Structure 1
């Protein structure tokens, strides 16, 4: 892309390259630098309504650094470089995302048409489906990225950093009682893939079906059908619930022939799925809710720890003592990834509670609730899709971490709503 919109094109269209290089979700930090320079030259800068809430969230995270060395009861671990690195990376991501939203909102329709931005998200959906298929059919695919090669070991060996810079096709877990590969390419975690594919599917439908011609519509049908394969093999119940909620939302909010067409499509898709081999895999996943007890333990431990610093949190996650079964957990020869679960690892809401206290979590919720309230009357395709994403943000915060890539897509969707309201006013 040419003109001032090039950083957005580089982020969304060039994402597979960023992933292969080892930047992945960190690419928004790299591209925030030219965005900030261009924004500075275009002063005065317009800001969206609700922007103050995000600034307060960012300010609160800066203050939470004061608690990095503190330890709440029933947690363990010393103050070390890993804790500081995790904090600084999250802080840099929050700042970069703020710059990205302002950048998108200050581009004119001529510089970056809404439909072009929507279709770029659609291209990233295609990339995500391809990555999901890689995870299903080539789950062992992984490689050392250039970024990983040049970073010193004391940084690259950090678990949080490793997930961001080491490209893998799938995350293997014993979800069904045996090793099950869950697609994650080209993102950092299997849950990030689940969150992202649902958000990108929404914009793919808008750009390729709602505003598409005959060829785009046919491609949309075919690609959506193919996407069902990695969506099912992801074993991601949060994703499945999110897609169900999206269908219900659309049926309620649209009317006339569109509603009838949606209902008919939903019935046909359900029948086709029920008759496919994928249905049995969903049944197995629902019969093996092994993660429920783990999530219940970490959530309760997170709330208990945060109660000792409810205003500013602890700046970063902490490790809980024990798990839902015993206090003597740790790595073994057969389970190198086992250990004490980090608090805040089961959803953005819980991450905010431990890192920024209950105040930070409330600011996050208020930001997205405010977006839903302001843009609910917008019944254009972009308005309906954007509000749906904001609703999914509030659903997913209970089960998915927003950082790194999911929050980028959430805020691009927010920027689309802001731009849409500005153009219609």
Structure 2
């Protein structure tokens, strides 16, 4: 499309192509370049309330580079190029996402109508459902992307980079006691798929049901029914809790016939779900909370490490010594592959604590809490949906990493609230 909204269209509508090329979540970095150029030419630039908090968050992350060579107690590992690459990529993503928010907020309603942006997010939800079904049906589907072929091995083989540039349909894990595919296409991790699916579902309902005609509403019901399959097979408890919170929030905040209709739709959906084969998969996952002990260990170790650098953190993740069972399970000379998930890998809050200390975590929370406070009175469909997403951001920070794609969607939702005001 032509016009100044083309970078946003390229990001949301063209996301499957970015994923296939190997850019995926990194596409926002590529598109931030033309956005920055266009913004510069359109000066003066409007900024949202809370902009200073995000700038402080960025400044703190830049300063955290001074600690990349440091090792907090209870962790192991020497400074490596991979640690520096991870820090640099996160910084590029934080800056690019900020540029994207400013770009969205400086487009006029004529250049990019709110409803069009909401419906573009709905299209990305369709892509997410298709990717989730692919992960259920063909869990081993994967291919080498062009970016992966072009990158030198010392960059492409970094585990963080590899997850971003190597397209896969699903992660296969022994969550239920046997190998279970967890959909992740077209995103970087199964947990990213869960977070993104819930946020995009909210905007899909607004654009395709609330503001949709009969045809769009029929399509919305069919798509949401199909989405239930990968949602359940994702075995993603955080996603399930998020959807439950979303339903409860809407029941409380809407009124009249809308509340009655919503309660009826939820009741019908629960009955259909209970009678379907999906109910048994759901029950099996609840009976096997295998990751609880692992998460408790890494969270405790992350807080302990953050106390030794509470203001600027350590710039990147660190590996813990041992795991929740024994101190002897860490990396050794005779078992280089042994180890434990990095501290900060269990949610954006814990990532902020290890990378930016308690200061960074406080700034992140304050930014999204401020958005909720400022826009709580906006009872339009976009206002209600945007505040709901801001609430989910604060819920998901305990269980999901915000980087890479989830944070982009969080901040697009923030931009929708800003534009709505």
Superposed pair shares fold, TM > 0.5: yes
Aligned residue for 1:168?
168
Q: Verify: 1:226 aligned to 2:213, yes or no.
A: no
Aligned-partner Cα distance in 2 for 1:355–1:171: 26
Aligned residue for 1:387?
387
Aligned residue for 1:271?
271
Aligned residue for 1:82?
82
Aligned residue for 1:65?
65
Q: Verify: 1:178 aligned to 2:182, yes or no.
A: no
**Alpha-carbon deviation of 1:339?**
2.6
Question: Cα gap change, 1:148/1:331 in structure 2, threshold over 3 Å: closer, same or farther?
Answer: farther
Aligned residue for 2:32?
32
Aligned-partner Cα distance in 2 for 1:338–1:173: 17
Aligned-partner Cα distance in 1 for 2:315–2:398: 19
**Alpha-carbon deviation of 1:326?**
1.4
TM-score with structure 1 setting the length: 0.97
Question: Cα gap change, 1:338/1:269 in structure 2, threshold over 3 Å: closer, same or farther?
Answer: farther
Aligned length: 419
Describe the superposition over 1:293-341 as per-residue Cα deviations: whole angstroms up to 9, x where unpaired: 0000000000000100000000000000000011232689xx9986322
TM-score with structure 2 setting the length: 0.98
**Alpha-carbon deviation of 1:17?**
0.3
Question: Cα gap change, 1:79/1:230 in structure 2, threshold over 3 Å: closer, same or farther?
Answer: same
Q: Secondary structure at the match of 1:172?
A: strand
Q: Which stretch of the first structure deviates more once superposed, 323-332 or 132-141?
A: 323-332
Aligned-partner Cα distance in 1 for 2:232–2:329: 31
Runs (4+) off by over 3 Å: 335-338
Q: What is the correspondence of 1:24-423 to structure 2 with a 5 Å cutoff? A: 24-329=24-329, 339-421=339-421
Q: Is the 8 A contact 2:321 2:330 kept in 1?
A: no
Q: Secondary structure at the match of 1:3?
A: coil
Q: Secondary structure at the match of 1:4?
A: coil
Aligned-partner Cα distance in 2 for 1:9–1:191: 25
Q: Secondary structure at the match of 1:187?
A: coil
Describe the superposition over 1:357-403 as per-residue Cα deviations: whole angstroms up to 9, x where unpaired: 00000000000000000000000000000000000000000000000
Aligned-partner Cα distance in 2 for 1:359–1:267: 43
Mark the runs of 5 or more structure 2 residues left unpaired by the alignment: none
Aligned-partner Cα distance in 2 for 1:303–1:328: 21
Describe the superposition over 1:1-50 as per-residue Cα deviations: whole angstroms up to 9, x where unpaired: 21000000000000000000000000000000000000000000000001
